[in-house]
Amino acid sequence: MAGAFVLANLALDHYLVAQGLRDLQRHARGDSRLSFDFDQARDLIGGGIEGAQDATLADGVYAATLPSGQANVRLNLRGLAIDARRYTLLQARLRSSAPARLHLIFDQPGRLDQLTATVDLLPGWNPLQLSLDRLDFSPHAGGEPQRWGGSSGLVGEFRLYFSGPAGLKIGLDQVRFQRPGHSGEPPDIQWLGAAEATAQLVPAAPLPGHGRPITGVLVDLVSTRPEQNLALRDQLRRIDAETLFWPAWRGPPEIPVATSSPPLGWSPGWVLVSCYALLALWLRWRSLAQGRAPSLLELGVGLTPVLALNLGLGLGEEAPQDSRVWLATALLFQLSGLRLRGSSLLGTRAAWKAAVPMLFFAAAALLLVAALTGHWQTPGLQRVAAYLPFVLLQQALLLGFVWPRLASLKPTPAPWWAAGLFGLAHAPNFALMCLTLLAAWWWTRHYRQHRSWLPILLTHYLLGLLLISCLPPDCLYSAETGLRFFQVQ
């Protein structure tokens, strides 16, 4: 657990520095951190455009064809709000294959206003420079026109709605929200400690969210858990999406002068992926005999990509293609080497008698936490359905690949070794590493004794859903791993 804590905080420190430098560069240019360059599909909710076909992403341009001539592009604000009083200029580069109209639509946070302003597009590239505070936005439900940001001065959702002839082809290069009169001077930043920022969350002392200066928070990575810092980040950014975060031990940062953004994570590269695929294929072709040396070799080959990508923050919200191929190759290598002989699906009565009490005890503990904290998050039908194949995959790899090879090395401590590797595979999510360590230890001991699958699968599935539903974000921020842990809740 101490090792998991150190790993999680080292990863968080790396992420805060890389993301903080990116945000500082945006602010130095006068851009909102919610400005978008379409170099990755994650800049759109769901990675796509509603009503579009044949979408491509090349050279920073997101292009698509609109069969009906209409499409709805929702910018992914990640639940945050644009300060309409601070950022009143919109710079965009949009391409249209024919004359069309662009409808700028925004909603205020927590409302469904659908306030709209319309701009005409010409064939070819359309560079837009719009003063949003000078436009009249008409309510979709009727009524008097309103200004940018509405009565709240905040924009919770922003959409680009294209309307043109059938078969219209569009392209998006960038959408930037900017400060008016920006002269290239660095923004004023008011740096607060995490404790002071937390104290200002109470309604009587709201965090300054409008105008100057931008709020910066120096977060403590020594005496606090990563989940606490990430939950604090979400709370503060709901008030002001431009809030900066930086490790306290480094001191307030200098405004970076570099034009290129530092990488948030890493990717293996196609040369390494190709060499790995050839090695994995050779090992499977040789069909190594069971023993200590072959078991160690197969464990190293099978688990190295999973651990390297998670520990190296190589799996982000939109992972690079080479990282995805490397991970898929590793999973195929492990699945092709499953050892399931002697196990049963349903399990004996003794297996169920051992599993059911543990399930009820753990579920009762989680529900008690939910009652004490007043937190309950309904998992939703999509998560309920999508979680099942992940459970099957994880247990197949743990009990069919990792466990048999560790048991052939030294049977007695094998449950702890398997649990340690399973927990490490969930890095850098500190809470998840600790919880999966304990769970994997119980699963492997149960499997060693009863050799049954269904009791283990059921406990994994139900307790996994309860974890997400019962534990508040400052205890378990999410069930994500790798770079996604810091990006997706």
Domain limits, the chain: 12-28+184-250, 36-178, 270-487
pTM of the shown model = 0.86
Helix spans in 336-453 (H):
349-373, 380-397, 403-409, 414-424, 430-450
What's the Rg (C-alpha) of the chain?
Answer: 26
pLDDT recorded at residue 209: 47
**Residue 43, pLDDT score:** 67
Ranges of H-type helices in 119-266: 194-199, 226-239
The architecture of the domain spanning 36-178 is Sandwich (2.60)
Residue 45 has a pLDDT of 64
The two three-digit tokens of residue 83, written as one number = 């300060």
Is 468:377 a contact under the CB 8 Å cutoff? yes
Q: What angle do CA 332, 333, 337 make, to 5 degrees?
A: 110
Which phi and psi (to 5°) does residue 82 adopt? -80, 130
Sheet holding 214-219, edge to edge: 189-193, 214-219, 244-247
For residue 363, which of 373, 351, 355, 374 has the smallest C-alpha distance? 355
Residue 116, pLDDT score? 93
- Determine the Cα–Cα distance for residues 11 and 399; give it in Å rounded to an integer: 28
Instruction: Please give the structure tokens belonging to residue 406.
Output: 């560790």
Cβ atoms 405, 298 nearer than 8 A = yes
pLDDT at site 211: 53
Give the residue ranges of the chain where pLDDT is below 70.
40-43, 45-48, 182-186, 203-212, 256-261, 288-290
